[in-house]
Amino acid sequence: MSEKLWQGRFEQPTDKMVEEYTASIHFDSRLYRYDIEGSIAHCRMLADCGIISHEEASQIIQGLGEILREIERGELTLESSQEDIHMAVEQRLMQKIGEVGGKLHTARSRNDQIALDTRLYMRDVLLQCRRLLLEVMAALTDLAEKNLHVILPGFTHLQHAQPVLLAHHLMAYCEMFSRDEERMAQCYARTNVLPLGSAALAGTTFPIDMERTARYLGFPRVVRNSMDAVSDRDYLIEFCAAAALTMMHVSRLSEELVLWTTPEFDFVEISDAFCTGSSIMPQKKNPDVPELMRGKTGRVYGNLMALLTLTKGLPLTYNRDLQEDKEPVFDTADTLLATLAVLNKMLPALRFHEEKMAEAAARSFALATDVADYLVLKGVPFRKAHHVVGQLVSYCIREGKDLSECTLEEFRKFHKSLEEDIFELLDIRAAVDRRRSLGGTSTERVREALESMRAEIAVR
Protein backbone atom coordinates (compact mmCIF):
# COMPACT_ATOMS: atom_id res chain seq x y z
CA MET A 1 0.00 0.00 0.00
CA SER A 2 1.40 3.36 -0.98
CA GLU A 3 1.56 6.32 1.38
CA LYS A 4 -1.40 8.72 1.14
CA LEU A 5 -0.75 12.13 -0.36
CA TRP A 6 -2.36 13.65 2.73
CA GLN A 7 -0.59 11.35 5.23
CA GLY A 8 1.54 14.10 6.89
CA ARG A 9 -0.60 14.80 9.95
CA PHE A 10 -1.51 11.17 10.60
CA GLU A 11 0.31 8.81 12.93
CA GLN A 12 -1.51 5.63 12.00
CA PRO A 13 -2.28 4.22 8.57
CA THR A 14 -5.90 4.17 7.45
CA ASP A 15 -7.89 1.09 8.47
CA LYS A 16 -8.23 -1.21 5.46
CA MET A 17 -12.00 -1.38 5.78
CA VAL A 18 -12.23 2.40 6.03
CA GLU A 19 -10.07 2.71 2.97
CA GLU A 20 -12.56 0.66 1.01
CA TYR A 21 -15.55 2.34 2.58
CA THR A 22 -14.38 5.84 1.65
CA ALA A 23 -12.97 5.07 -1.78
CA SER A 24 -14.76 6.31 -4.88
CA ILE A 25 -12.19 5.20 -7.44
CA HIS A 26 -14.37 2.28 -8.63
CA PHE A 27 -16.93 4.73 -9.99
CA ASP A 28 -15.18 8.08 -10.37
CA SER A 29 -12.37 6.56 -12.47
CA ARG A 30 -14.65 7.11 -15.44
CA LEU A 31 -13.94 10.83 -15.00
CA TYR A 32 -10.25 10.36 -15.80
CA ARG A 33 -10.30 12.24 -19.10
CA TYR A 34 -11.94 15.29 -17.57
CA ASP A 35 -9.66 15.14 -14.55
CA ILE A 36 -6.55 15.13 -16.73
CA GLU A 37 -7.89 17.75 -19.12
CA GLY A 38 -8.63 20.02 -16.14
CA SER A 39 -5.19 19.43 -14.66
CA ILE A 40 -3.47 20.32 -17.92
CA ALA A 41 -5.39 23.60 -18.17
CA HIS A 42 -4.66 24.37 -14.52
CA CYS A 43 -0.96 23.66 -15.00
CA ARG A 44 -0.72 25.89 -18.06
CA MET A 45 -2.36 28.71 -16.14
CA LEU A 46 0.03 28.25 -13.18
CA ALA A 47 2.98 28.64 -15.54
CA ASP A 48 1.41 31.60 -17.38
CA CYS A 49 1.01 33.34 -14.02
CA GLY A 50 4.58 32.58 -12.97
CA ILE A 51 3.44 30.35 -10.08
CA ILE A 52 5.43 27.41 -11.46
CA SER A 53 8.09 27.52 -14.17
CA HIS A 54 7.37 26.69 -17.81
CA GLU A 55 9.93 23.90 -17.56
CA GLU A 56 8.02 22.35 -14.63
CA ALA A 57 4.73 22.79 -16.44
CA SER A 58 5.92 20.96 -19.53
CA GLN A 59 7.18 18.03 -17.43
CA ILE A 60 3.83 17.83 -15.67
CA ILE A 61 1.82 18.13 -18.89
CA GLN A 62 3.90 15.48 -20.59
CA GLY A 63 3.42 13.17 -17.59
CA LEU A 64 -0.34 13.76 -17.59
CA GLY A 65 -0.49 12.96 -21.30
CA GLU A 66 1.28 9.66 -20.70
CA ILE A 67 -1.08 8.79 -17.84
CA LEU A 68 -4.04 9.47 -20.10
CA ARG A 69 -2.67 7.01 -22.64
CA GLU A 70 -1.88 4.44 -19.94
CA ILE A 71 -5.45 4.55 -18.65
CA GLU A 72 -6.88 4.41 -22.15
CA ARG A 73 -4.82 1.32 -22.94
CA GLY A 74 -5.83 -0.26 -19.62
CA GLU A 75 -2.24 -0.29 -18.41
CA LEU A 76 -2.84 1.58 -15.18
CA THR A 77 -4.61 -0.35 -12.43
CA LEU A 78 -6.75 1.81 -10.25
CA GLU A 79 -7.33 0.49 -6.72
CA SER A 80 -9.06 1.58 -3.51
CA SER A 81 -5.82 2.52 -1.78
CA GLN A 82 -5.75 5.41 -4.22
CA GLU A 83 -9.07 6.67 -2.89
CA ASP A 84 -10.31 8.62 -5.90
CA ILE A 85 -9.41 9.49 -9.47
CA HIS A 86 -7.67 12.74 -8.46
CA MET A 87 -5.32 10.92 -6.08
CA ALA A 88 -4.69 8.10 -8.51
CA VAL A 89 -3.61 10.46 -11.28
CA GLU A 90 -1.47 12.57 -8.96
CA GLN A 91 0.22 9.55 -7.42
CA ARG A 92 1.03 8.15 -10.81
CA LEU A 93 2.39 11.54 -11.87
CA MET A 94 4.80 11.59 -8.91
CA GLN A 95 5.92 8.05 -9.76
CA LYS A 96 6.66 9.17 -13.30
CA ILE A 97 8.22 12.61 -12.89
CA GLY A 98 9.14 12.73 -9.20
CA GLU A 99 8.74 15.62 -6.72
CA VAL A 100 7.91 18.20 -9.37
CA GLY A 101 4.61 16.41 -9.91
CA GLY A 102 3.68 17.69 -6.46
CA LYS A 103 3.49 21.23 -7.86
CA LEU A 104 0.37 20.47 -9.88
CA HIS A 105 -1.92 20.72 -6.87
CA THR A 106 -0.80 24.30 -6.12
CA ALA A 107 -3.77 26.68 -5.77
CA ARG A 108 -6.44 24.02 -5.98
CA SER A 109 -8.16 21.40 -3.87
CA ARG A 110 -9.98 18.21 -4.68
CA ASN A 111 -13.12 20.13 -3.76
CA ASP A 112 -12.93 22.48 -6.74
CA GLN A 113 -11.33 19.73 -8.82
CA ILE A 114 -14.31 17.36 -8.50
CA ALA A 115 -16.69 20.23 -9.20
CA LEU A 116 -14.73 20.90 -12.38
CA ASP A 117 -14.62 17.22 -13.42
CA THR A 118 -18.36 16.76 -13.03
CA ARG A 119 -19.09 19.99 -14.92
CA LEU A 120 -16.87 18.87 -17.79
CA TYR A 121 -18.53 15.44 -17.77
CA MET A 122 -22.02 16.99 -17.64
CA ARG A 123 -21.26 19.22 -20.62
CA ASP A 124 -20.51 16.12 -22.70
CA VAL A 125 -23.58 14.25 -21.49
CA LEU A 126 -25.86 17.24 -22.06
CA LEU A 127 -24.64 17.61 -25.65
CA GLN A 128 -25.28 13.94 -26.30
CA CYS A 129 -28.76 14.20 -24.78
CA ARG A 130 -29.56 17.18 -26.96
CA ARG A 131 -28.38 15.42 -30.10
CA LEU A 132 -30.41 12.29 -29.32
CA LEU A 133 -33.51 14.30 -28.43
CA LEU A 134 -33.28 16.17 -31.74
CA GLU A 135 -33.08 12.79 -33.47
CA VAL A 136 -36.18 11.58 -31.62
CA MET A 137 -37.98 14.77 -32.66
CA ALA A 138 -36.97 14.24 -36.29
CA ALA A 139 -38.05 10.58 -36.17
CA LEU A 140 -41.48 11.53 -34.78
CA THR A 141 -41.89 14.25 -37.39
CA ASP A 142 -41.03 11.80 -40.18
CA LEU A 143 -43.43 9.24 -38.79
CA ALA A 144 -46.17 11.87 -38.52
CA GLU A 145 -45.61 13.02 -42.09
CA LYS A 146 -45.65 9.46 -43.42
CA ASN A 147 -48.97 8.84 -41.65
CA LEU A 148 -50.55 12.23 -42.21
CA HIS A 149 -53.80 10.73 -43.55
CA VAL A 150 -54.31 8.29 -40.67
CA ILE A 151 -57.15 8.98 -38.22
CA LEU A 152 -57.54 7.38 -34.82
CA PRO A 153 -59.79 7.97 -31.85
CA GLY A 154 -58.38 10.60 -29.50
CA PHE A 155 -58.83 9.51 -25.89
CA THR A 156 -59.61 11.16 -22.60
CA HIS A 157 -59.89 8.92 -19.53
CA LEU A 158 -58.79 6.21 -22.01
CA GLN A 159 -62.34 6.44 -23.42
CA HIS A 160 -62.98 7.43 -27.02
CA ALA A 161 -63.31 11.21 -27.12
CA GLN A 162 -62.95 12.78 -30.58
CA PRO A 163 -61.20 11.61 -33.75
CA VAL A 164 -57.73 13.05 -34.33
CA LEU A 165 -54.92 12.63 -36.81
CA LEU A 166 -52.28 10.10 -35.79
CA ALA A 167 -49.78 12.75 -36.88
CA HIS A 168 -51.27 15.14 -34.34
CA HIS A 169 -50.93 12.51 -31.63
CA LEU A 170 -47.29 11.85 -32.57
CA MET A 171 -46.48 15.56 -32.76
CA ALA A 172 -47.81 15.97 -29.22
CA TYR A 173 -44.86 13.83 -28.10
CA CYS A 174 -42.58 15.79 -30.36
CA GLU A 175 -43.55 18.97 -28.51
CA MET A 176 -42.74 17.30 -25.18
CA PHE A 177 -39.32 16.19 -26.39
CA SER A 178 -38.72 19.64 -27.81
CA ARG A 179 -39.19 21.12 -24.32
CA ASP A 180 -36.93 18.41 -22.90
CA GLU A 181 -34.25 19.41 -25.37
CA GLU A 182 -34.69 23.04 -24.41
CA ARG A 183 -34.32 22.12 -20.72
CA MET A 184 -31.07 20.31 -21.47
CA ALA A 185 -29.78 23.38 -23.31
CA GLN A 186 -30.69 25.62 -20.36
CA CYS A 187 -29.06 23.20 -17.95
CA TYR A 188 -25.95 23.29 -20.15
CA ALA A 189 -25.74 27.08 -19.85
CA ARG A 190 -25.79 26.91 -16.03
CA THR A 191 -23.33 24.00 -15.96
CA ASN A 192 -20.91 25.78 -18.25
CA VAL A 193 -19.14 27.76 -15.53
CA LEU A 194 -15.58 27.23 -14.26
CA PRO A 195 -15.28 26.40 -10.53
CA LEU A 196 -11.52 25.65 -10.50
CA GLY A 197 -9.61 28.16 -8.42
CA SER A 198 -12.20 28.15 -5.65
CA ALA A 199 -9.72 25.78 -3.97
CA ALA A 200 -10.99 24.14 -0.77
CA LEU A 201 -13.70 26.74 -0.18
CA ALA A 202 -12.27 30.24 0.26
CA GLY A 203 -10.28 30.83 -2.91
CA THR A 204 -6.48 30.93 -2.91
CA THR A 205 -3.62 33.20 -1.94
CA PHE A 206 -1.79 32.48 -5.22
CA PRO A 207 -2.11 35.04 -8.03
CA ILE A 208 -4.08 32.69 -10.31
CA ASP A 209 -5.97 33.73 -13.45
CA MET A 210 -9.23 31.81 -13.47
CA GLU A 211 -10.40 33.46 -16.64
CA ARG A 212 -7.39 32.04 -18.40
CA THR A 213 -8.16 28.51 -17.13
CA ALA A 214 -11.74 29.07 -18.25
CA ARG A 215 -10.57 29.96 -21.76
CA TYR A 216 -8.38 26.85 -21.93
CA LEU A 217 -11.37 24.70 -21.04
CA GLY A 218 -13.94 26.58 -23.11
CA PHE A 219 -15.98 27.95 -20.20
CA PRO A 220 -17.56 31.31 -21.01
CA ARG A 221 -17.82 32.20 -17.31
CA VAL A 222 -16.13 31.76 -13.95
CA VAL A 223 -18.03 31.17 -10.69
CA ARG A 224 -18.77 34.24 -8.58
CA ASN A 225 -18.54 32.61 -5.16
CA SER A 226 -15.97 29.98 -4.18
CA MET A 227 -18.11 28.57 -1.35
CA ASP A 228 -21.06 28.07 -3.64
CA ALA A 229 -18.74 26.55 -6.25
CA VAL A 230 -17.47 23.71 -4.05
CA SER A 231 -20.70 22.91 -2.26
CA ASP A 232 -23.68 23.13 -4.57
CA ARG A 233 -24.67 20.36 -6.93
CA ASP A 234 -27.72 22.01 -8.45
CA TYR A 235 -26.36 21.56 -11.97
CA LEU A 236 -26.38 17.79 -11.44
CA ILE A 237 -29.82 17.79 -9.84
CA GLU A 238 -31.16 19.93 -12.64
CA PHE A 239 -29.89 17.42 -15.16
CA CYS A 240 -31.47 14.56 -13.21
CA ALA A 241 -34.76 16.48 -13.09
CA ALA A 242 -34.64 17.16 -16.84
CA ALA A 243 -33.79 13.48 -17.38
CA ALA A 244 -36.71 12.42 -15.17
CA LEU A 245 -39.10 14.54 -17.23
CA THR A 246 -37.69 13.17 -20.48
CA MET A 247 -38.07 9.60 -19.22
CA MET A 248 -41.62 10.39 -18.08
CA HIS A 249 -42.41 11.39 -21.66
CA VAL A 250 -40.72 8.30 -23.07
CA SER A 251 -42.63 6.23 -20.55
CA ARG A 252 -46.03 7.60 -21.59
CA LEU A 253 -45.23 6.90 -25.22
CA SER A 254 -44.08 3.41 -24.22
CA GLU A 255 -47.28 2.79 -22.29
CA GLU A 256 -49.28 3.64 -25.40
CA LEU A 257 -47.20 1.29 -27.52
CA VAL A 258 -47.74 -1.50 -24.99
CA LEU A 259 -51.51 -0.86 -25.07
CA TRP A 260 -51.71 -0.35 -28.80
CA THR A 261 -49.98 -3.64 -29.60
CA THR A 262 -52.58 -5.67 -27.67
CA PRO A 263 -55.15 -7.53 -29.79
CA GLU A 264 -57.80 -5.38 -28.06
CA PHE A 265 -56.37 -2.24 -29.67
CA ASP A 266 -54.27 -3.65 -32.50
CA PHE A 267 -53.30 -0.15 -33.65
CA VAL A 268 -49.62 -0.79 -34.26
CA GLU A 269 -46.98 -3.41 -34.79
CA ILE A 270 -43.53 -3.08 -33.27
CA SER A 271 -40.78 -4.62 -35.38
CA ASP A 272 -39.65 -8.13 -34.32
CA ALA A 273 -36.20 -6.68 -33.71
CA PHE A 274 -37.56 -4.82 -30.68
CA CYS A 275 -39.67 -7.59 -29.16
CA THR A 276 -38.96 -10.91 -27.49
CA GLY A 277 -40.76 -14.21 -27.20
CA SER A 278 -41.90 -16.34 -24.29
CA SER A 279 -40.02 -19.38 -23.03
CA ILE A 280 -43.30 -21.27 -22.64
CA MET A 281 -45.97 -19.72 -24.88
CA PRO A 282 -44.97 -20.14 -28.52
CA GLN A 283 -47.42 -17.55 -29.84
CA LYS A 284 -46.05 -14.65 -27.78
CA LYS A 285 -44.41 -11.50 -29.06
CA ASN A 286 -43.87 -9.18 -26.15
CA PRO A 287 -43.20 -5.42 -26.27
CA ASP A 288 -40.21 -5.67 -23.92
CA VAL A 289 -38.45 -2.56 -25.16
CA PRO A 290 -41.24 -0.10 -24.34
CA GLU A 291 -41.88 -2.01 -21.11
CA LEU A 292 -38.27 -1.56 -20.06
CA MET A 293 -38.34 2.10 -21.04
CA ARG A 294 -41.34 2.49 -18.75
CA GLY A 295 -39.57 0.48 -16.06
CA LYS A 296 -36.26 2.33 -16.25
CA THR A 297 -38.12 5.59 -15.70
CA GLY A 298 -38.50 4.48 -12.08
CA ARG A 299 -34.77 4.31 -11.44
CA VAL A 300 -34.24 7.73 -13.02
CA TYR A 301 -36.88 9.19 -10.66
CA GLY A 302 -35.16 7.40 -7.79
CA ASN A 303 -31.80 8.94 -8.70
CA LEU A 304 -33.32 12.43 -8.66
CA MET A 305 -34.79 11.80 -5.22
CA ALA A 306 -31.47 10.39 -3.99
CA LEU A 307 -29.63 13.58 -4.98
CA LEU A 308 -32.21 15.92 -3.50
CA THR A 309 -32.13 13.97 -0.26
CA LEU A 310 -28.34 13.77 -0.29
CA THR A 311 -27.94 17.53 -0.43
CA LYS A 312 -30.86 18.82 1.61
CA GLY A 313 -29.17 18.89 5.00
CA LEU A 314 -25.61 19.79 4.12
CA PRO A 315 -24.09 22.85 5.76
CA LEU A 316 -21.73 24.87 3.58
CA THR A 317 -19.36 24.01 2.11
CA TYR A 318 -17.92 20.72 0.90
CA ASN A 319 -18.95 17.62 2.82
CA ARG A 320 -17.84 14.12 1.98
CA ASP A 321 -21.49 13.15 1.52
CA LEU A 322 -21.16 14.83 -1.86
CA GLN A 323 -19.08 11.95 -3.11
CA GLU A 324 -22.36 10.02 -3.23
CA ASP A 325 -23.63 12.29 -6.01
CA LYS A 326 -21.80 10.49 -8.78
CA GLU A 327 -23.44 7.09 -9.05
CA PRO A 328 -27.00 8.43 -9.38
CA VAL A 329 -25.83 10.93 -12.00
CA PHE A 330 -23.88 8.34 -13.99
CA ASP A 331 -26.77 5.89 -13.82
CA THR A 332 -29.21 8.57 -14.96
CA ALA A 333 -26.99 9.59 -17.88
CA ASP A 334 -26.36 5.98 -18.94
CA THR A 335 -30.04 5.07 -18.71
CA LEU A 336 -31.28 8.15 -20.53
CA LEU A 337 -28.72 8.01 -23.35
CA ALA A 338 -29.33 4.30 -23.95
CA THR A 339 -33.11 4.77 -23.85
CA LEU A 340 -33.08 7.62 -26.37
CA ALA A 341 -30.72 5.73 -28.69
CA VAL A 342 -33.00 2.65 -28.71
CA LEU A 343 -36.11 4.81 -29.12
CA ASN A 344 -34.53 6.38 -32.19
CA LYS A 345 -34.12 2.97 -33.77
CA MET A 346 -37.53 1.67 -32.76
CA LEU A 347 -39.69 4.61 -33.93
CA PRO A 348 -39.04 4.39 -37.70
CA ALA A 349 -39.83 0.66 -37.57
CA LEU A 350 -43.38 1.12 -36.22
CA ARG A 351 -46.17 -0.06 -38.55
CA PHE A 352 -49.53 1.54 -37.85
CA HIS A 353 -52.76 -0.32 -38.70
CA GLU A 354 -54.68 2.49 -40.30
CA GLU A 355 -57.91 0.56 -40.97
CA LYS A 356 -58.11 -0.56 -37.35
CA MET A 357 -57.59 3.00 -36.17
CA ALA A 358 -60.14 4.47 -38.57
CA GLU A 359 -62.70 1.82 -37.61
CA ALA A 360 -62.21 2.60 -33.94
CA ALA A 361 -62.39 6.34 -34.60
CA ALA A 362 -65.83 6.01 -36.16
CA ARG A 363 -67.22 4.03 -33.21
CA SER A 364 -68.41 5.14 -29.79
CA PHE A 365 -70.15 8.36 -30.72
CA ALA A 366 -66.90 10.18 -31.35
CA LEU A 367 -68.82 12.86 -33.28
CA ALA A 368 -71.35 13.68 -30.58
CA THR A 369 -69.56 16.98 -29.88
CA ASP A 370 -69.89 17.84 -33.55
CA VAL A 371 -73.66 17.32 -33.42
CA ALA A 372 -73.83 19.61 -30.37
CA ASP A 373 -71.68 22.22 -32.17
CA TYR A 374 -74.08 21.97 -35.14
CA LEU A 375 -77.02 22.85 -32.91
CA VAL A 376 -75.05 25.76 -31.45
CA LEU A 377 -74.54 27.13 -34.95
CA LYS A 378 -78.33 27.02 -35.32
CA GLY A 379 -78.68 29.24 -32.26
CA VAL A 380 -79.18 26.60 -29.53
CA PRO A 381 -77.21 27.44 -26.34
CA PHE A 382 -74.28 25.01 -25.92
CA ARG A 383 -75.51 23.60 -22.58
CA LYS A 384 -78.92 22.82 -24.08
CA ALA A 385 -77.33 21.29 -27.19
CA HIS A 386 -75.09 19.13 -24.97
CA HIS A 387 -78.14 17.79 -23.13
CA VAL A 388 -80.12 17.07 -26.32
CA VAL A 389 -77.23 15.14 -27.88
CA GLY A 390 -76.73 13.27 -24.62
CA GLN A 391 -80.32 12.03 -24.89
CA LEU A 392 -79.79 11.15 -28.55
CA VAL A 393 -76.71 9.09 -27.64
CA SER A 394 -78.59 7.34 -24.85
CA TYR A 395 -81.33 6.47 -27.38
CA CYS A 396 -78.75 5.08 -29.85
CA ILE A 397 -77.19 2.93 -27.12
CA ARG A 398 -80.63 1.47 -26.30
CA GLU A 399 -81.30 0.85 -29.99
CA GLY A 400 -77.81 -0.57 -30.57
CA LYS A 401 -76.98 1.80 -33.40
CA ASP A 402 -74.50 4.50 -34.25
CA LEU A 403 -75.35 8.19 -34.81
CA SER A 404 -74.79 7.82 -38.55
CA GLU A 405 -77.33 4.97 -38.64
CA CYS A 406 -80.20 7.15 -37.37
CA THR A 407 -82.80 8.44 -39.81
CA LEU A 408 -83.64 12.13 -40.08
CA GLU A 409 -86.97 11.41 -38.32
CA GLU A 410 -85.14 9.88 -35.39
CA PHE A 411 -82.81 12.92 -35.19
CA ARG A 412 -85.72 15.32 -35.32
CA LYS A 413 -87.39 13.64 -32.36
CA PHE A 414 -84.59 15.15 -30.29
CA HIS A 415 -84.42 18.61 -31.84
CA LYS A 416 -86.27 20.21 -34.71
CA SER A 417 -83.16 22.12 -35.80
CA LEU A 418 -81.51 18.88 -36.87
CA GLU A 419 -81.82 18.78 -40.64
CA GLU A 420 -80.67 16.81 -43.69
CA ASP A 421 -77.16 18.33 -43.65
CA ILE A 422 -76.47 16.58 -40.35
CA PHE A 423 -75.34 13.53 -42.35
CA GLU A 424 -72.47 15.36 -44.04
CA LEU A 425 -71.31 16.31 -40.61
CA LEU A 426 -71.02 12.70 -39.52
CA ASP A 427 -67.86 12.03 -41.50
CA ILE A 428 -64.76 11.59 -39.36
CA ARG A 429 -62.29 13.14 -41.78
CA ALA A 430 -64.47 16.21 -42.20
CA ALA A 431 -64.77 16.32 -38.41
CA VAL A 432 -60.99 16.26 -38.01
CA ASP A 433 -60.46 18.92 -40.66
CA ARG A 434 -63.00 21.24 -39.06
CA ARG A 435 -60.72 21.61 -36.03
CA ARG A 436 -58.71 24.46 -37.43
CA SER A 437 -58.03 26.43 -34.27
CA LEU A 438 -54.35 27.05 -33.52
CA GLY A 439 -52.76 23.81 -32.38
CA GLY A 440 -55.83 21.84 -33.54
CA THR A 441 -55.93 18.49 -35.32
CA SER A 442 -57.04 19.57 -38.83
CA THR A 443 -54.76 18.36 -41.64
CA GLU A 444 -54.01 21.98 -42.47
CA ARG A 445 -52.84 22.82 -38.93
CA VAL A 446 -50.90 19.60 -38.52
CA ARG A 447 -49.09 20.18 -41.81
CA GLU A 448 -48.07 23.61 -40.56
CA ALA A 449 -46.93 22.10 -37.27
CA LEU A 450 -44.76 19.60 -39.15
CA GLU A 451 -43.17 22.36 -41.16
CA SER A 452 -42.42 24.57 -38.21
CA MET A 453 -41.03 21.65 -36.21
CA ARG A 454 -38.69 20.78 -39.08
CA ALA A 455 -37.51 24.37 -39.27
CA GLU A 456 -36.92 24.40 -35.52
CA ILE A 457 -34.98 21.14 -35.52
CA ALA A 458 -32.74 22.52 -38.26
CA VAL A 459 -31.67 25.57 -36.22
CA ARG A 460 -31.26 23.96 -32.79
Contact residues for ligand ARG, defined by CB under 6 A: 24, 28, 84, 110-111, 114, 320, 322-323
Minimum gap (Å) between residue 272 Cβ and ligand ARG: 44
Minimum gap (Å) between residue 118 Cβ and ligand ARG: 8
Q: Which is nearer to ligand ARG, 172 or 322 (CB)?
A: 322
Q: Which is nearer to ligand ARG, 111 or 204 (CB)?
A: 111
278 is catalytic: yes
Residue 257 near residue 286 (C-beta atoms within 8 A): no
Minimum gap (Å) between residue 119 Cβ and ligand ARG: 13
Q: Which is nearer to ligand ARG, 20 or 272 (CB)?
A: 20
226 is catalytic: no
Minimum gap (Å) between residue 433 Cβ and ligand ARG: 58
Q: Which of 58, 271, 278, 452 is catalytic?
A: 278
Q: Which of 205, 203, 204, 201 is nearest to 227 (CA)?
A: 201
Minimum gap (Å) between residue 129 Cβ and ligand ARG: 23
Q: Which is nearer to ligand ARG, 92 or 294 (CB)?
A: 92
CA 167 to CA 432: how far, in whole Å?
Answer: 12
Minimum gap (Å) between residue 243 Cβ and ligand ARG: 20
Q: Which is nearer to ligand ARG, 113 or 441 (CB)?
A: 113
Minimum gap (Å) between residue 22 Cβ and ligand ARG: 8
Q: Which is nearer to ligand ARG, 19 or 427 (CB)?
A: 19
Residue 87 near residue 14 (C-beta atoms within 8 A): no
Q: Which is nearer to ligand ARG, 88 or 380 (CB)?
A: 88
Phi, psi of 262 (to 5 degrees): -70, 155
Q: Which of 157, 169, 226, 279 is catalytic?
A: 157
Residues designated catalytic: 157, 278
